[in-house]
A and B are shown apart, each in its own frame.
Chain A
């Protein structure tokens, strides 16, 4: 098994400098959740010059819409959702200071370039492991857009939250590199071959 790197949040430029595609990392500290509806709202507020409900500088955004918690649980099942759906908002989020994103699946070319330009990283958590990831979330608190229900912005305290670096700050793309490495088919890799 590949070795895992423990990372204490917030993400610093030095930490980002040391990360490369394929690195298995474990995040500890604070991250914030946001998916489609929250992204749409944040970008609209920023474009209108309104004050944002949270300071995005240095933040790690986790693309997740959890199940409701049972009695005594801090959150329900909480695995990543498809990152590609957030691509239209991501360059703007990076401009607003976001340094890291956790989702599943690949990113489009525009986003990959914006990640490199913003000296940020995109990681995947394993899609469909929401019960396992629940065990790494110590607290959850809705901090904005409560009316969005599962799509509200939550502040999560995470402990050794497992993820894999897919896009580093140097233009690397794990999904493209990995597919080339393990491909035995004579079919050409499609353009933007990371499924973005």
Chain B
């Protein structure tokens, strides 16, 4: 059994909030740079150049990459041999969100009572926190400031089991087509297939923590990822939907065993400002 102080978790989450919102991950920046070489639309290339310049300015001047510093999505893998002392894990994470969004001059975008008064909580807490119990005596924290524009384009649908792979491709293409410029393409697309409704969306979201180019270890799923990327980029949506050959930088698919009656498909879209940051305690 290993002791980890709640205060250390708070400090870590605060740091992840600031770093993730200012520094674009190298793999994402590299993928955008690569897309510049293949983009067919001159206007698309110009947009990609502005995105790359933005990453440089954000880094050098400590300005958030995007004014939408998101809902704080936190994925925690808690080793079962860890004991958190000095406070409740979830409170420690929310305290870290409050601290990071305050110290980092980040936008507080979270409102109470979604259909009512919509009063801003003023702290960007609470975060959307997923916890998973894993073997070992470490805590792994994944932090994702998830923008409202791309999250709004999430979709879920139940298909007939016999519709299979074709249904997944059609649904993803349709989602990208109708989303247009709203989720800020070039996109990274998370797809969850199987499980139940909430499981499908959870694995779709979790896939967005992967690095660009990282394939699903299952060859059949990896092949679907490749076909999806090709199908999506043939749509011509392009950077910011002005038309072009770069609609998505990557597509990640996660699967989970499902019911004999079911084929759940969830799509969770990430904008080009694909901000994630990890820490291990």
Contacts and interface: CB of A to CB of B under 8 A. Distances in A.
Interface of A: 1-2, 22, 24, 64-70, 73, 76-79, 81-82, 84, 104-106, 124, 126-132, 134-135, 149-150, 162, 164, 166, 174-175, 177-185, 187, 189-190, 193-196
B28 to A, nearest CB: 11
A105 B269 CA distance: 15
B50 A126 contact: yes
Interface stretch (B130-138, B158-166, B232-240): B232-240
21 contacts: A22-B242, A24-B46, A67-B64, A78-B67, A82-B149, A127-B271, A128-B51, A130-B64, A132-B53, A134-B61, A149-B108, A162-B50, A174-B242, A175-B181, A178-B241, A182-B236, A182-B238, A184-B234, A190-B178, A195-B179, A195-B180
B199 interface: no
A177 B106 CA distance: 36
Given A68-B107, A182-B244, A131 B234 contact: no
A164 B238 CA distance: 14
Given A77-B63, A131-B64, A182-B40, A124 B54 contact: no
A181 B236 contact: yes
Contacts, number: 196
Given A67-B105, A129-B66, 9 more contacts: A77-B65, A84-B182, A127-B271, A179-B243, A180-B236, A182-B244, A185-B235, A193-B180, A195-B181
B18 to A, nearest CB: 12
Nearest to A22: B43
A193 to B, nearest CB: 7
Contact of A185 (B62, B68, B234, B242): B234
Given A77-B67, A82-B182, A195-B179, A150 B240 contact: no
Contacts of A195: 177-182, 237, 241
Contacts of B147: 128
B49 interface: yes
Residue of A105, A129, A134 with highest tally of chain B CB at under 10 A: A129
Interface string B30-66: 0000000000111101110111011001100111111
B241 to A, nearest CB: 5
A129 B120 CA distance: 24
Residue of B46, B234, B243, B245 with highest tally of chain A CB at under 10 A: B243
A76 B64 CA distance: 8
B46 A1 contact: yes
B192 to A, nearest CB: 22
Nearest to B42: A2
Contact of A183 (B53, B178, B236): B236
Contact of A131 (B58, B152, B238): B58
Contacts of B42: 1-2
A79 B46 contact: no
B94 interface: no
Nearest to A188: B177
A15 B31 CA distance: 38
A137 to B, nearest CB: 11
B178 A65 contact: no
A184 B236 contact: yes
B52 to A, nearest CB: 10
A126 B236 contact: no
Contacts of B177: 187, 189-190, 193, 195
A66 B243 contact: no
B67 A194 contact: no
